[in-house]
Chains A and B, each alone.
Chain A
Amino acid sequence: MTNPKSPAGQFTLLYFAAASSFTKRTSENFSAPVRAADLFQLLEGKYPGMGDKVLSSCAVTVNLEYIDLDGDDAADGDLMIKAGDEVAIIPPVSSG
């Protein structure tokens, strides 16, 4: 699945709830490819403090599928985020 909103060579990152409050954005484009395991580091570089305050409790989806980045031998540690991908930071949910 590709995301029509991404400019050529870029992927789209979506922010929700605490992640959008912290970045003051709801979405942002980044140059692809990026190793999924390096995504949080990339964001901490751009938004200092985001790692501890927000990302540590968040999950990540790529094209509507959750990816596993937990630990050094995480299942999706080597996954590459490609141009056109829709990636999202998923904070702890609170429906109802």
Chain B
Amino acid sequence: MADPSLEAAASQDLTPSSQPMFRSEPSIHVELTHSHLDVLATMARVKSPKAGAVVLFAGTTRDSFQDLEVKHLAYEAYAPLALNTLLNIARSVKITHALTSIAIIHRLGTVPIGEESILIAVAAPHRQAAWRAGEEALEETKKRAEIWKLEQFVGAEGVWRANRDGCMGEKVEDGNLGGR
């Protein structure tokens, strides 16, 4: 059975509302938000006359996992640590690929199916660097950012995913913890 308290828990981010959930420095922006992600605004953030290529990745919530129907997803984050990690990833990818700009934005709380959960925008003088940088930024984010996804299935309990093995994580139904 769906447990509303778990969905509520997944919506919180342990950050006081007075603390903005973003970090910015010249040509770098990382952010966590409970709002809809804005593709055009994110792209505009990285564009410049020096950049001949902008690559934008939009990660969108899927309606199934291993043939199970997903009702919606919910994300929670350890916001201050996740922002540190995202900033480190952005700095590193920007240097490695000589980007002119990079933005990484992740949504938190409940994300209905078909909506964006993550946007990564990178700008570079040429397309090859932009493609590679976009992929590297996404893979590093999935591997390292302190953000967790709860998949709420139709007619079943929620499951915390773990990116590293591609398997279902822990089920969250009472008395069934650790079940696969």
Contacts and interface: CB of A to CB of B under 8 A. Distances in A.
B160 A96 contact: no
Contact of A95 (B141, B165, B169, B172): B141
Interface in A20-61: 20-22, 24, 26-27, 49, 52-54, 57, 61
A16 B146 contact: yes
A96 B118 contact: yes
Contacts of B148: 16-17, 91, 93-95
Interface string A57-83: 100010010000000000000000000
A22 B145 contact: no
B106 to A, nearest CB: 6
A57 B9 CA distance: 21
Interface residues of A, number: 25
A64 B84 contact: yes
B163 A94 contact: yes
B59 interface: yes
B14 A92 contact: no
A42 B42 CA distance: 45
Interface in B96-134: 106, 117-118
A53 B163 contact: no
A95 B177 contact: no
A17 B73 CA distance: 13
Nearest to B75: A95
Contact of A53 (B143, B145, B162, B177): B177
Given A16-B78, A22-B177, A53-B178, A92 B146 contact: no
Contacts of A22: 170, 177
A95 B78 contact: no
B84 A54 contact: no
A17 B169 contact: yes
B81 A92 contact: no
Interface in B154-172: 160-165, 169-170, 172
Given A16-B78, A17-B169, A26-B14, A94 B160 contact: yes
Interface of B: 5-6, 9, 12, 14, 59, 75-78, 80-82, 84, 106, 117-118, 138, 141-150, 160-165, 169-170, 172, 177-178
